[in-house]
Structure 1
Amino acid sequence: NAEEYSDLPVRHNEDQMNSELAKHLPIEVNPHSFDSSHTKTHLLLQAHFSHAMLPCPDYATDTKTVLDQAIRICQAMLDVAAHHGWLVTALNITNLVQMVVQGRWIHDSSLLTLPNIELHHLYLFRRWSQGKKKSVPGGYQGPIECLPELMAACEGKENVFASIVDSELQTAQISQAWNFLCRLPIVNVSLSIKGCWDDPVQPQNEVPVPSLTTDTRDDQRWIKLHADQEYVLQINLQRTQMGYQGKQDSKAVAPRFPKVKDEGWFLILGEVDKKELIALKRTGYVRNRNTISVAFYTPETPGKCIYTLYLMSDSYLGMDQQYDIYLNIIPARSSAQVTTEVSDATSHLAPK
C-alpha cells in the first residue's frame, strides 16, 4: 500500500493476467482489485518469493521496479516499529528484507537460497548423516536442515559439499552453489555491559555477559544492574570466512536481487515477555572485527528480566543469531537516589 507503488503500470488486459497469477500464489488478494497497482505489486512480491512463472516479460521489468523500492520502504517501516517499541513487527520486517534480497519465503528452508538447489534436492541434505559418523569424528553429524548446519558439516571443504549433492547436480552447478556458501558470513559474538555500579572509585565498569556455551552456574548468569539507569551493551562482532580464499568483498551474494547490495546487520534488543523493542542499531559490513555500542535503560522496578539481542542479517536468510542477557535489577544506587531527591527538593533547601 506504499505511495511509491501507486504508479506501477497496470496495462491493457493485465487485470486478467493478475487474476491468473494469483491462483498460483499462497496469499489471497482482493479479487475485485486486479486492476490496482498495489495488488499487482503484492502479486509480484509473492511471485518473487515463490519463484513463480511470470505471464510476460513486462512483469519481470515491473518486479525489478518493485524490488528497487522495497528495501527503502522496509527501512522506513522498521523506523516506525522501533519508534513504537514493537519487537515482533521489527523482527518480521527484517525477515521481509531478507526475503526480498534472496527471493525466498522465510518459512522455506534456508538451503534453498543456494543457487541451483530446489525443493526436490532437500532430501540429499537430510540423508547426509547416514553412515557418516565414523568418517567425520569431529564434524557436524546430524541431518542438515539449514545453512549454518551445512557450513558446520562442510568445514570449508568443497569436496564434502560436492559429496552431498553430486548425485543431482553437475560440476558447474556445484561450484556455483559452493561459491555462494563459502562467502556467507560466520559472525562470532561476544557481549559486555558498561555502566556505573556501586564503586565510586572506579565509576566506569564493564561486565562480560556469560555465553550459553560457557559452563556458568545459574546464579552466575544473572547480571546485577541498577533500576532506571542507562547502561551500554557492547557488542563485539568477529567475522570469519568458511573457505573463501578470494578478496573480502562487502557485497552481498544475492543473485535474485536486481541491485548491487552491501551486506549489513540489524541489532535489535528486546524483551520477549513484553514483546517490547528496547533498542535498534544498524551496522554495515563486518570486515574482521566490529564493536557496536547500544545504549539502553533498565526497568524502573527491581526484579529479574531477560533481554534478548537479535543479530539479524539484512541480506541472507537463515544466518540470524540471538543471545539472552539475564538481568537482575536491584534498587537504584544511593547516589542516584540522592541526586533525584536533591533535584526534587525546593531551591532554597540546598544539599549539605
Structure 2
Amino acid sequence: MAISTTIVFRRDSGAPRNHDRTMEDAYEISSFLNSDIIRLLGPALASKHKISHTTIERFSTSLTEETELKGLLEILTSADEFARFSVRPGEEELIRDLLMNNPRFSFDNPNCRDSHVKAKALLLAHFSRQPLSGDLAADQEQVLVIATRLVPALVDVIFLDGSRWLANCAMKVSQMVTQGTWESDSMLLQLPYFSKELAQKCEKNPGGSVTTVFDLVELEDNERRELLQLSDAQWSEIAKICNRIPDINLAFNIPDREEIRAGEVINVEVFIERNLLWRTDKVGPVYAPRYPKLKQEGWWLMVTDAATDELLSMKRVYVKGDSNNVRLDFAAPGQTGRKWYAMYATCDSYIGCDVKYYFSIDVKGTGARNEEDYMEE
C-alpha cells in the first residue's frame, strides 16, 4: 500500500494571522501554463468569469513586473465592463474632486469625462470612505459588484506569469472592495462602531497594542470596556462580528512524500480548519456593510518556491464549515535534494486574516520506483 505522511505547516512567525470559504466551486490553474499562451486561454478565462475577452487581453498586456497597487487599480478600471459608466452633466467636477482629494494617490490632469476614470474615482472613494449620494452612489455600487467579478480574472492572468507578489496584491484589492478600506488601514475598521480614532487608541493601548480582531477578543473584559468606552450591547454586537471574521489553521498530507522524484507532479492535500469562538456557529455570509450584496467568504491557496517566490500552484476555494480540504498540484524541480516551499492562504473578503506556512520536500533522482517501498512489512 502507498505510504503517506501528514505534516503540519510551519507558520512564518512574521506573517499576520489570517482566515477562509467552500470547495464545490473551487478551481485550479496548473502552473505548467505560460503567459505566451494567453491568447489560447483568454476565451476560456473570459467565459469562466463572464467578462469580455478584450478585458483579459488588456490585463495581460498591461501587467509588468513593476506594477504596484496604483497601477493595478488603473489596469482593473481599464476593463471594458466599466465603459458603460458615462459621465453625466455636472459630474465631471465631482469626479475631479474625488481624485484630487484622495488621501492615498495623486493624479495629474485626469480626464474626468472618461468612464474608466469615473470608475476609478468611485473605487478609490470607496476605499477611503468618502461619502457619495444620488446617482454617483448608485453607480459606485455597480462598480463594486463588477470589480468583484474582475479581480479573480486579474489574479488568473497574473498567475500565468508566476508572480506571487502581484497576485497577492490583486487579492488585497478584493479585500478592499469588500470592506471599503485600504489594505494598510487598521483591521479593526472592519468592525462596527470603530472609527480611525478608536483604532488608533487601541493601537496605543498602555496595556499592550491592540491591532487585530484577535487581540481585541483576548483582552480581559474590564480592560476592553475601559479601552473601548462602549456599551455592553455595542460590545455584544462587535463580538458577534469578531466570530464571523475567520481564524484558520492549515495542515497537509503529501502522498508518497518519501518517494517524490525530480520532474514528477507533487500532490498536496490541504486541510483547512476554521476556528470559531462558539462551536454552534456556522460560517455565514461575509460581514461587509459597505458592500452592496451578500458575499460568500472565499480564499486563494498558493504554493510558491520559497527561494524565488515563483507562484507554482493556485486554487480558489469557498469554506462553508469549520473543516474543509482541497488538493494542490505542482511539478517537482529537476534538481535533487531538499526543496523549500511556501503555502499562502489569502482571504478574498477580510483584511488581516491571511496566513503563510513553510514546508519542505526531499526530491530524489529520476529512475524506476521500487514497488517494495509501497508494501507494508
- Alignment partners' CA distance in 2, 1:272 and 1:197: 20
Answer whether contact 2:100 2:107 (CA < 8 A) is retained: no
Structure 1: gaps spanning 5 or more residues: 131-141, 199-224, 338-352
SS state of the match for residue 184, structure 2? coil
Answer whether contact 2:179 2:291 (CA < 8 A) is retained: yes
SS state of the match for residue 251, structure 1? coil
Name the structure 1 match of 2:350. Answer: 316
Q: Which runs of 4+ in 1 moved over 6 A?
A: 157-160
Name the structure 2 match of 1:204. Answer: none
Structure 2: gaps spanning 5 or more residues: 1-77, 371-377
- Alignment partners' CA distance in 2, 1:113 and 1:37: 30
Query: Which whole-Å deviations, capped at 9, do the CAs of 1:37-93 have from their partners, x for residues lacking one?
Result: 111111111111111133x42211111010010111001111111222221121111
SS state of the match for residue 358, structure 2? strand
Query: Which of the numbers 113, 122, 128 marks the counterpart of 1:44?
Result: 122
Q: Residue type matched to 1:86 in 2?
A: S
Query: Which of the numbers 163, 168, 177 marks the counterpart of 1:86?
Result: 163
SS state of the match for residue 235, structure 1? strand
- Alignment partners' CA distance in 1, 2:252 and 2:353: 18
Question: Structure 2 vs 1, CA of residues 317 and 88 (structure 1 numbering), >3 Å: closer, same or farther?
Answer: same
Query: Which of the numbers 238, 259, 263 marks the counterpart of 2:273?
Result: 238
Name the structure 2 match of 1:138. Answer: none
Q: Residue type matched to 1:174 in 2?
A: W
SS state of the match for residue 82, structure 1? helix
Aligned pairs for 1:1-352 within 5 A: 1-25=78-102, 26-54=104-132, 56-128=133-205, 130=207, 142-151=208-217, 153-154=218-219, 161-166=224-229, 169-195=230-256, 197-198=258-259, 225-243=260-278, 247-332=281-366, 334-335=367-368
SS state of the match for residue 120, structure 1? helix
- Alignment partners' CA distance in 2, 1:310 and 1:288: 19
Q: TM-score, normalised by structure 2?
A: 0.72
- Alignment partners' CA distance in 2, 1:314 and 1:322: 15
SS state of the match for residue 326, structure 1? strand
Q: Residue type matched to 2:227 in 1?
A: I
**If you compute each CA radius of gyration, which structure gives the higher value, 1 or 2?**
1
In the alignment of these two chains, the number of paired residues is: 292
SS state of the match for residue 236, structure 1? strand
Offset, 1:272: 4.3
SS state of the match for residue 273, structure 1? coil
Name the structure 2 match of 1:220. Answer: none
Q: Residue type matched to 1:148 in 2?
A: F
SS state of the match for residue 180, structure 1? helix
Question: Structure 2 vs 1, CA of residues 34 and 114 (structure 1 numbering), >3 Å: closer, same or farther?
Answer: same
Question: Structure 2 vs 1, CA of residues 30 and 307 (structure 1 numbering), >3 Å: closer, same or farther?
Answer: same
Identity of aligned residues (%): 27
Offset, 1:174: 3.0
Answer whether contact 1:251 1:263 (CA < 8 A) is retained: yes
Query: Which whole-Å deviations, capped at 9, do the CAs of 1:190-219 have from their partners, x for residues lacking one?
Result: 122123644xxxxxxxxxxxxxxxxxxxxx
Name the structure 2 match of 1:133. Answer: none
- Alignment partners' CA distance in 1, 2:175 and 2:154: 14
Q: TM-score, normalised by structure 1?
A: 0.76
Answer whether contact 1:147 1:319 (CA < 8 A) is retained: no
Computed over aligned residues only, the root mean square deviation of the Cα atoms, in angstroms, reads 2.3
- Alignment partners' CA distance in 1, 2:222 and 2:81: 47
SS state of the match for residue 281, structure 1? strand
Q: Residue type matched to 1:145 in 2?
A: T
- Alignment partners' CA distance in 1, 2:257 and 2:247: 33
SS state of the match for residue 214, structure 2? helix
